[in-house]
Amino acid sequence: MAKLILSMDDQVLKEIPLSRERTTIGRKPQNDIQIDNLAVSGEHAVIVSILNDCFLEDLNSTNGTQVNGKTVKKHFLQNNDVIELGKYKLKFVQDSSPKPAAAPAVDKADFEKTMVLRPGAMRAAAEQAKAMAAGGQAGTAEAVRAAAVKQAVASATAAGIADRDSKPVQAPPATPPAAPSAEATRSPGAAAPKVAPGAESPRPASTPASAQAAAPGAPAARPTVAASAPAVAQKPLLGAIQLLSGANAGKELELSKPLTTLGRPGVQVAVLTRRPQGYFITHVEGTQHPAVNGQPIGTAPHALKDHDLVELAGVKMEFFLRG
Amino acid sequence: MDLTQILEIASCTDPGMVRSHNEDSVAADAASGLVVLADGMGGYNAGEVASGMATSVITSEIKQLLARTPPYTLDPVTNIAIAPRMVRDQVVKANVSIFQAAQSQPQYAGMGTTLVVCLFYDNKVLVAHLGDSRLYRLRAGDFAQVTRDHSLLQEQLDAGLISQEQAKHAQHKNLVTRALGIDPQIEPEVHEYPVVPGDLYLLCSDGLCDMVGDEEIGEALRAFGSNLDLASQQLVQMANDNGGRDNVSVILVRVLREYPGPRGVMGKLFAWLK
């Protein structure tokens, strides 16, 4: 937990833990941190703590609030920041040791965290339910079981026994409160994000992604495709391949599935993957690698661009995007 | 018995798209036919510590024990192969280590880990698991889940309180009912299944199966099955493409040939009598 060290003229006066969501600072006695000095306004500033992050906000004080010598209105406090109010200094110290238990409110907010439901809690709840049933209060066995389970969830949530999240989610104040429920309704199968994938990935793009990042530049040469480029970013266009040689020349294959296997098992196999960023071809099996526009691809997935020519197991085909 | 030539193993672990560090831990030892996957939980770095302890303790201990006594050795009292008890004992031992660390060091308080362990021996696979990390099997094109999660959701499913469809939208996917390091005593679930050459086994953390549907996982394994390294990367990539909300870890094990344990005269006689 973070704390403030109040000092004047390098004399430490006291330490104040930031245990509340809001810690107010001012001259008036109702403040959490009262500083009886005329240079300090009645209600001078407030520190808002969200998870492990603390934000300092000046409450339109007469003489202002300074952090590390600069006047601030709002400030995201960092370890060892010094807040100055008149002659007083408040040093902000972030304790790096873990919190004994995450705030229950946080647990409720983040459904993704894995927690252990202790068998004890479950058993106790079940026994209680059984006792209830014996007393003739509850109806069917299922209802009893449901009650037990519900109770166990409640107790586990309240206790917040062990959460699997190492990094408490840095919930920015802008996060819409509806987010957790939206997550809760996501189904594993239909989880494919329909929004621009780049926008929601905080992580730097991995190799295949960066390869794909170059792709939008290429279609720009074709005016017809360039016009539809924003649509690619929103929702990937449906791709297809047309066979140009071999027995089935002229046939088209729509790439609507996430994975499409091409080639002959045992000889040469490649897989076309449909990802939010677009289509990729990956060599899977065989001594010979497929060629894209005459160049054999390596072992890594290769991003396909509109009208790329692919040669695989002696068959030529063209990849294109459907507008 | 060295299984290096019989098992093909590939693994991949990734922090995902949201979390800053990886609390999953994977370990594999092809020679002894052992693979371990753990998904840690607990604040700061404690999750990594718990999962790391689980994989390292279990791998090193079982490797040492197997060097002395092969897994198919029959227990003189019960006349059952010693492997199941050996694995169970080592899982319990790992639990004690993690639990003690969590109790004695404040920065590790509350840490724990899920676990899935597979030991391949004598044409069988022995599976021990706790929590919601899973084992799947692809056999002759059929993709199926082998383990059953120790989670509230699974218990509700078993009790018939909710349907599969409701389970997909459940809010409390995150509640596991068993884990390593939380309580001084644990009860790992241990099973053995016969193995057929060509089987492909997938061990994964919930970061994969929460983000990617079983059907898609199966399809990816069928498509990329001939190249396990690619397949493992593909699975992690699919989870990340779908949002990658959690750490993603996979271990793939393909059984290339049969690997019967050598039988003595008595063993042959028993096998014949059966």
Query: Which CATH number covers residue B102?
Result: 3.60.40.10
Question: Exposure pattern of B238-258 as b/e (b: 16+ CB <10 Å)?
Answer: bbbbbbbbbbbbbbbbbbeee
A120: chain B residues, CB-CB within 8 Å: 183
Residue B58's domain spans which residues?
7-14+22-273
Of A26-40, A47-61, A179-193, A265-279, the poorest mean pLDDT is in A179-193
Whole-angstrom Cα distance, residue A27 to residue A39?
9
Chain A / chain B CB contacts < 8 angstroms? 179
Lowest mean pLDDT among A90-94, A131-135, A161-165, B48-52: A161-165
What average pLDDT is seen over chain B? 90
Greatest mean pLDDT among A2-11, B166-175, B201-210 lies in B201-210
CA atoms within 13 A on the CB side of A20: 10
Residue B164 has, within 13 A of its CA and on its CB side, a CA count of: 4
What type of residue is A144? V
Judge: B175–A153 Cβ closer than 8 Å, yes or no.
yes
| Residue B40 three-state SS | strand
Cβ atoms of residues A322 and A237 within 8 Å = yes
Residue B62 lies in a domain: yes
Return the H-helix or E-strand segment holding A154. helix A141-159
Task: For chain A, give percent helix, strand, coil, nearest 5.
Answer: 25, 30, 45
Helix (H, G, I), strand (E, B) or coil at A253: strand
Q: Let me know: does A47 contact A40? Beta carbons within 8 Å.
A: no
Closest CA to B244 of B72, B19, B6, B93: B19
Q: How many Å lie between the alpha carbon of A246 and the closest alpha carbon of chain B?
A: 23
Given a contact cutoff of 8 angstroms between Cβ atoms, the answer to whether B182 and B99 are in contact is yes
Q: Which of B174, B193, B44 is nearest to B111 (CA)?
A: B44
Q: Do B155 and A115 count as a contact with CB atoms less than 8 A apart?
A: no
Between helix B46-68 and helix B83-104 the angle, nearest 10°, is 150
Residues of B in contact with A297 (CB under 8 A): none
pTM of the predicted structure, to 2 decimals: 0.62
Which of B20, B23, B110 minimises the CB distance to A161? B110
What is the per-residue pLDDT for B30? Answer: 92
Instruction: Check residue B252 and give its pLDDT.
Output: 96
CA-based nearest distance B19→chain A, Å? 7
- From residue B5, alpha-carbon distances to B31, B114, B259 in Å are 8, 29, 10
CA B167 to chain centroid, in Å, comes to 22
* Numbers of helices and strands, H then E, in chain B: 8, 11
According to the model, what pLDDT value does residue B229 have? 93
- Inside any domain, residue B219: yes
Look at chain B and report how many structural domains it folds into: 1
Are B224 and A269 in contact by the 8 Å Cβ rule? The answer is no
**By C-alpha distance, which of B173, B174, B200, B207 is closest to B14?**
B207
Question: Hey, are the CB atoms on A101 and B170 less than 8 Å from each other?
Answer: no
DSSP E strands, A88-170: 88-93, 115-116
Q: Is residue B2 part of a domain?
A: no
**Which residue's entry shows tokens 């692809």?**
B138
> Is residue B1 in a domain?
no
| Residue owning tokens 């059966």 | B274
Q: What are the chain A neighbours of B40 within 8 Å (beta carbons)?
A: 164
Which residues are within 8 A (CB) of B97 and not within 5 positions of it... i.e. 6 or more apart? B53, B57
**What's the Rg (C-alpha) of chain A?**
30
pLDDT tens figures, A72-130: 888 888 888 899 888 888 999 886 544 444 444 443 334 456 677 665 554 554 555 45
- pLDDT of residue B154 exceeding 50: yes
pLDDT at A222: 37
Place B55 in a pLDDT band, splitting at 50, 70 and 90. very high
| Two structure tokens written together for A151 | 């109770």
Give me the residue from A99, A145, A206 closest to B43, CB to CB. A99
B265, part of any domain = yes
Q: Confidence class of residue B61 from pLDDT cuts 50, 70 and 90?
A: very high
Contact list in B for residue A273 (CB cut-off 8 A) is 234
From A111, A203, A259, residue closest to B223, measured CB to CB: A259
B22 CB-near residues (< 8 Å, 6+ apart): B13, B14, B15, B48, B247, B249
pLDDT for the residue numbered A170: 37
Search chain B and give the residue with CA nearest A118.
B177
Q: Best interface-test mutation with A: which of B230, B236, B252 has the largest number of A CBs within 10 A?
A: B230
**H/E segment holding residue A107:** helix A104-109
Q: Which helix H or strand E contains A158, and what residues bound it?
A: helix A141-159
Edge-first strand order for the sheet with B24-29 is: B24-29, B34-41, B112-121, B124-130, B189-194
**Side-by-side strand order, sheet with A53-58:** A33-34, A22-26, A45-50, A53-58, A74-76
**ipTM field:** 0.77
Q: Tell me whether residue B227 is in a domain.
A: yes
Q: What local confidence, expressed as pLDDT, does residue A172 receive?
A: 39
Nearest by CB to B169, which of A166, A184, A201? A184
With beta carbons under 8 A apart, name residues in chain A contacting B212: 188, 191
Q: B184 vs A123, A212, B42, CA distance in Å?
A: 17, 50, 17
Task: Please say whether the beta carbons of A168 and A94 come within 8 A.
Answer: no
The number of beta carbons lying within 10 Å of the beta carbon of residue A24 is 17
Beta bridge partners of A57: A46, A74
The first and second tokens of residue A20, run together, are 């509340």
Q: What is the DSSP letter of A217?
A: G
Cα gap A316→B141, rounded to integer Å: 29
Reference B114, options B20, B192, B210; nearest CA is: B210
Averaged pLDDT, B232-251: 93
Least confident of A27-31, A134-138, B215-219: A134-138
B19-32 b/e with 16+ CB inside 10 Å = b?
Answer: beebbbbbbbbbeb
